[in-house]
Amino acid sequence: MSSEDAPHFSSRDAVVCRGVGKTWAAGTKRAHEALTDIDLDIKPGEFVVFLGPSGCGKSTLLYLIAGLEDATKGRVWSFGDLVETPSPQRSLIFQETSLFPWLTVWENVSFGLSIRGAGKEERRTVAAEALQRVGLKAAMDKRPDELSGGMRQRVAVARALAMRPKVLLMDEPFAALDVQTRARMQDFLLDVWRDSGASVLFVTHHIDEAVALADRVVVFTSRPGRIKTIVPIDMPRPRNLFSREAENLRIKLTDLLRDEVDRAFAEQEAFAVPA
Amino acid sequence: MAVVTRDSEPGAAAGASRPAAASRLLASMAGLDWLAKIWWAFLSISLFAGLWELCWAMGWADEKLLPPPHIFLSNIAEQGRYFNTATRWQVGQSMTEGPSAFESVLITGAATTGRVFAGLVIASVLAIAVGVLVRYYRFFDRLVLPTITLLSPVSPIAWLPVAIFLFGIGNAPAIFMVVVALFFHMVLATINQIDTVNTNLINVARTMGASKAQIYGRVIVPAILPGMLQVLRMNLFGAWMVVLVAESTGVGYGMGQVIMLARNTFNPSLVFFTIAVIGVLGFTFDWLLRLAQRRILYWLPDTAERLRVL
């Protein structure tokens, strides 16, 4: 890319956002601004959680970083390259299952390799290795509908890992799981993250989840989404989530979010009652 | 969370999936499921026939106009002769020559079924191809979709003269009628199916670097298959309806011709016998299609039992 409009950042940064904004249905009556003025730097190997009320645009930002949507304002770079299209370097994991129901587990995991035209032997080997890392090698030949929700999300993680991504983008990946499964999945994700060395950008509206996982928590305002503040968490891992420190963090994040949720509610009520 | 364990080797398991499917089929045959189904089908038809017979017995249904099953089925041999329309238009051939009554029914039924099948195959291949192209190329969308939407509501009857102008007499006009009756709806149905494919599946493929052609070939087409087979099944019945209209005018022989003959000779028994034959043929065709559907769509769960709990 040209150096002229290059912002001040290290090209080693995993993700850099400068003045990023997104307006949906821009130029039409239904236009609404989802995100505005996002400046953010994410280091390689960093675990960052996006926390905010529903509809604050945190998922939108994830899509912009993935390259699945174009920003209406500003730019996104990843490791020095301008993000214009999706890339296998930045894998996205969705809230609901996104496995291909007509493929077996291992075929799902090696889908990206088959896109590149890899042979069956290679694909099976890579799939086995990735599934080993998520503890599901035994389920290789199953079909997605034979698995539980938690297992399906682990397969989705394995599928993302098989691409050896440098950035793992996760859009409320555990939201549909029950509380116990979610706690296990968080531990599992931390293991995977440590092994892979990738940066993780994790969207959630659960404060507990943010405290359990993040190196830094990016707190968003309600619509249009802005970065309200960034809260670093330097608790050592494995974290004791019942410690005084964790409790204080939860209180702090709850306070930060409360204003935004109140504001979002007020807006929705104003919207619901015609003037 | 339980990790599924499997004691056999994964490779061996993959190789064994086909015989396993066959043995599953055998197992379901061994159970009395299919027998129960036949029993219920028998009961369902008996009830309908029984009501009709009752109406006849009570004198409400005139047997000259609405002959009940025992009457129109009693002289199958005689009625079957009329199916010998295969050579009816050949000058100098009498009604007593040619194939036997039973053979005639078979020939006529096979001819009509063949037309339905050919029309259905041609219509679906064309419609899926056009539907995919419409979504794939924007200019194709703009160029073609207005005309398709315009022609969609035109009744197949309106196409009948066109079929005869273009193809004269024979198989071609009947097949053309089936194709033209199904094609336009099926294009619109294909487009609708494509539009409702789960965005996540497409986005997964995009982040893995799939090209547009790969996304269509590897994600969109398999994702729309279940819906398309459903559309195909719905249209199967449409095809059966249209083929009769086509045959009644444009073709030398076929079920439609028999119906016309029955009408012109005031033969209600023949009408009802032909209706019965068409019903059986259509039912069988649908059953075969459902079997194929279950084979092709191995990944879909059986949802028929979902509402039974209510």
Residues 6+ apart with CB under 8 A from B171: B111, B114, B115, B118, B251
Model confidence at B10: pLDDT above 70: no
Alpha-carbon gap, residue B294 to B298, rounded angstroms: 6
Beta-ladder partners of A91:
A168
pLDDT more than 70, % of chain B: 81
Alpha-carbon gap, residue B242 to B245, rounded angstroms: 5
Alpha-carbon gap, residue B293 to B284, rounded angstroms: 14
Take residue B302 and report the two structure tokens written for it.
């059986």
A142 in contact with chain B, both atoms CB, cutoff 8 A = yes
pLDDT at B193: 93
Q: What is the mean pLDDT of chain B?
A: 82
Alpha-carbon gap, residue A237 to A241, rounded angstroms: 10
Q: Which of B14, B208, B299 sits opposite A111 (nearest CB)?
A: B208
pLDDT at A16: 87
pLDDT tens column, B272-304: 888 998 999 988 988 888 888 888 877 776 666
Q: Which residues in chain A touch residue B214, judged by CB atoms under 8 angstroms apart?
A: 115
Instruction: Select from A170, A172, A162, A155 the least CA-distant residue to A196.
Output: A162
Residues of chain A short of pLDDT 50, as ranges, are 1-4, 275
Q: Which residues in chain B touch residue A121, judged by CB atoms under 8 angstroms apart?
A: none
pLDDT at B20: 66
Model confidence at B133: pLDDT above 90: yes
CATH of B110-298 given 3.30.479.10, 1.10.3720.10, 1.20.1050.10, 3.90.550.10: 1.10.3720.10
ipTM, interface predicted TM-score of the complex: 0.85
Alpha-carbon gap, residue B182 to B116, rounded angstroms: 11
In which band, very low, low, confident or very high, does the pLDDT at B88 lie, cut at 50, 70 and 90? very low
Half-sphere exposure in the Cβ direction for A230 (13 Å, CA): 14
Is the distance from CB of B1 to CB of A187 less than 8 angstroms?
Answer: no
- Collapse the DSSP code of A139 into the 3-class scheme (helix H, G, I; strand E, B; otherwise coil) and give the result: helix
Q: Please state the domain extents for chain B.
A: 110-298
- The order of strands in the sheet holding A47-51 is A90-93, A167-171, A199-204, A47-51, A216-220, A227-232
pLDDT at B98: 65
Closest residue, chain A, to B214 (C-alpha): A115
Alpha-carbon gap, residue A188 to A82, rounded angstroms: 31
All domains of chain A, ordered by start, with CATH?
15-89+165-272 (3.40.50.300)
Is the CB of B206 less than 8 angstroms away from the CB of A100? no
Model confidence at B119: pLDDT above 80: yes
Model confidence at B15: pLDDT above 50: no
Is the CB of B299 less than 8 angstroms away from the CB of A136? no
| Span of A49-53, A208-212, B13-17, B76-80 with lowest mean pLDDT | B13-17
Closest residue, chain B, to A149 (C-alpha): B1
The H-assigned helical ranges of A85-241 are 105-109, 111-115, 120-133, 149-161, 179-196, 207-213
A90 in contact with chain B, both atoms CB, cutoff 8 A = yes
Is the CB of B209 less than 8 angstroms away from the CB of A88? yes
Interface residue of A94, A95, A152, A171 to substitute, partner B, most B CBs within 10 Å: A94
The answer for A197, left when phi > 0, alpha when psi is -120 to 50, beta otherwise, is: left
Is the CB of A101 less than 8 angstroms away from the CB of B300? yes
In which band, very low, low, confident or very high, does the pLDDT at B46 lie, cut at 50, 70 and 90? very high
| Least Cα separation, residue A91 to chain B (angstroms) | 6
